[in-house]
Structure 1
Amino acid sequence: MMVVTALLSWFLVGLFVRVSKARGWGQRVRADGPQTHLVKDGTPTAGGVPFVVATLLVFVPLYLSGQGGDSRELLIMLTALAMGLIGGVDDLLKVRSRMKGGGKSELLAREKFPLQFLVAALFAFFAAPLASHELVPGLGPVGDVVLLTLVMVGSVNAFNFADGLDGLLSGIAIIVLLPLLGLSPLSALLVAALLGFLWFNAHPARVFMGDMGSHAIGAIAAGAYVLHADVWLLPLAAIIPVVATLSVVIQVASFKLRGKRVFKMAPIQHHFEHKDIGWPETHVTMRFWVITAVATAGVWWLLGGRP
């Protein structure tokens, strides 16, 4: 079914690119971002929509036939869809803002975070009793729910911060999910769907992922590691999203407290792109993939070399 998912994703993403270009559903590139990105202005965004749809279309009949895993997989899929819809609103606002020449361009943090926490809390409530390992000895049921809520929200936003370069997040997500291919059918389907998406997202990208895709990826990664592996292995495998998030936190805190920036730009992938550092976008992407691969190999070893 991975081949079917990859081909379906490739077809749907390609169709989405053609329709987006015909209708002008492009993303506005920030003028204060890397100067090399200015040529990307108008590139279709929200490419996560078709690959999430492809994943769902294959997962549903697979699950109903009894080949899509148990209730844990359904819980992960529902959580990914809910988080994806939150990100999808962001994508819609960006497209509408560009087409109308102004207006609200994204959800504010005070609007987005309560929704994310609500979805994450529902996931945590049902996931805590199903986790394949003891989360924290002595933490108790309430503590487990709080922990998993924070993990889910953190993962969704961390993977979102790791986006922004052609092929970067899709490649990272594929590598992070590799140790779970034999444990989580949904993770395998997402890897396949991302391969179809990467065909169009590789440099120079013909489509951007958008927030729906990054939110769904973060939800599936968190859910799969919690329910099939070990929650503490997720930040190791997803080291780049973690570092990207930390770079944003450090940058904001430093500027507010000291009036100075630590990085040329944040998240950190743009720091290396800055003219004073001078790494080409493709070099940043490939090197971050390599770092992710090394970290994920460590996860694979800690899991006993499975699957």
Structure 2
Amino acid sequence: MMVVTALLSWFLVGLFIRVSKARGWGQPIRKDGPAHQQKEGTPTAGGVPFVLAMAAVFFPLYFTGHAGGPRELLIMVAALGMGLIGGVDDLLKIRSRMVGGKKELLAREKFPLQIIVALAFAYFAAPLASHELVPGLGPVGDVILLTLVLVGSVNAFNFTDGLDGLLGGVAIIVLLPLLALSPVSALLVAALLGFLWFNAHPARVFMGDMGSHAIGAIAAGAYVLYADVWLLPIAAIIPVVAVLSVVIQVASFRLRGKRVFKMSPIQHHFEHKDIGWPETHVTVRFWMVSAVATALVWWLLGGRP
């Protein structure tokens, strides 16, 4: 089914690109950022077709008993819930470029929606987790912890987007240890392979928030339910650093009036003209860091009694 998912994703993303270009659904580029002006007008929201491809394969498999049990359904529903929030953001961005109006969901609008989805996931996931989350924390503490983990993961993976192929490659690497355990993780990896055909440098489509939100939800859900929640920030070291760089940058500017990084998230810091890494170098080096971190996680998982 991974082959089918990859091919369906490849077809739907390619179709989405053609429709997007015909309708002018292009991505505006930050003028104060790295020299990406040549990407102006590239179709965005490419996560929509690969998430649809993954769901289109998963649900027939699940309802015929070939895609795991309740854990897999829970992961997929969380991914679609978070993906829908990101999809609204994508729709607003496209609509504002075409006819004006609201440009995106504000943080104060987005976070409550993310927390609602995360709370629902956490309530059902806590009893199904493959390990004790925190000894003595209790059921309520477990639900609070998993809610924070899911919201944090979604936003961390979202901040990792922004360079051609970066988030797709990082997500594939992070999920590799779970391919044999979680069918949803395997389907996402396959869907991302179809997407990366078009998102690799020079990208013909950008992922957008629906894709990044769904990826963050699946990564968190799979590590919680099949591995260990504390291994997620190790494997996902790049998303963790990306979101921390934003937090540090904002806090430093508000408290000190100074920026720590040339730009944030951190991938744009390395791209900045004063640092000068080419976009492809940043992407591949971040993949390499992810590979080393995920290899450590793989070893830790294999070393368990």
Whole-Å separation in 2 of the counterparts to 1:196 and 1:115: 29
Offset of residue 104 of structure 1 = 1.4
Offset of residue 103 of structure 1 = 2.1
Question: Could you say which residue in structure 1 is the equivalent of 2:15?
Answer: 15
Whole-Å separation in 1 of the counterparts to 2:256 and 2:225: 41
Please list every run of 5 or more consecutive structure 2 residues that lacks an aligned counterpart in the other structure. Answer: none
Q: Is 2:75 the partner of 1:71?
A: no
Q: Is 2:103 the partner of 1:105?
A: yes
Written as runs of structure 1 = structure 2, the 5 A alignment for 1:49-64 is 49-64=48-63
Question: Could you say which residue in structure 2 is the equivalent of 1:242?
Answer: 240
Q: Runs ≥4 in structure 1, deviation > 2 angstroms?
A: none
Offset of residue 27 of structure 1 = 1.1
Deviations 1:33-87 (A, max 9, x none): 21x2111111000000000000000001111111101100000100100100000
Aligned length: 304
Whole-Å separation in 1 of the counterparts to 2:102 and 2:26: 16
Q: Is 2:128 the partner of 1:146?
A: no
Which one of the candidate residues 294, 298, 301 is aligned to 1:300?
Answer: 298
Question: Could you say which residue in structure 1 is the equivalent of 2:205?
Answer: 207
Whole-Å separation in 1 of the counterparts to 2:88 and 2:41: 19
Whole-Å separation in 2 of the counterparts to 1:103 and 1:141: 43
Query: Aligned AA for 2:180?
Result: G
Written as runs of structure 1 = structure 2, the 5 A alignment for 1:3-42 is 3-34=3-34, 36-42=35-41
Question: Could you say which residue in structure 1 is the equivalent of 2:92?
Answer: 93
Q: 1:303 aligns to what SS in structure 2?
A: helix
Deviations 1:106-127 (A, max 9, x none): 1000000000000000000000
Q: Is 2:231 the partner of 1:260?
A: no
Q: 2:158 aligns to what SS in structure 1?
A: helix
TM-score under structure 1 length normalisation: 0.98
Whole-Å separation in 2 of the counterparts to 1:231 and 1:183: 15
Deviations 1:96-153 (A, max 9, x none): 11112x3211100000000000000000000000000000000000000000000000
Which one of the candidate residues 188, 193, 197 is aligned to 2:191?
Answer: 193
Whole-Å separation in 1 of the counterparts to 2:67 and 2:236: 25
Whole-Å separation in 1 of the counterparts to 2:268 and 2:245: 10
Whole-Å separation in 1 of the counterparts to 2:281 and 2:68: 38
Query: Aligned AA for 1:303?
Result: L
Whole-Å separation in 2 of the counterparts to 1:107 and 1:119: 16
TM-score under structure 2 length normalisation: 0.99
Offset of residue 31 of structure 1 = 1.1
Question: Could you say which residue in structure 2 is the equivalent of 1:48?
Answer: 47
Offset of residue 305 of structure 1 = 6.7
Question: Could you say which residue in structure 1 is the equivalent of 2:123?
Answer: 125
RMSD across aligned positions (CA): 0.8
Whole-Å separation in 2 of the counterparts to 1:194 and 1:252: 31
Whole-Å separation in 2 of the counterparts to 1:267 and 1:238: 15
Please list every run of 5 or more consecutive structure 1 residues that lacks an aligned counterpart in the other structure. Answer: none
Deviations 1:237-291 (A, max 9, x none): 0000000001000000000000000000000000000000000000000000000
Percent identity of equivalent pairs = 85
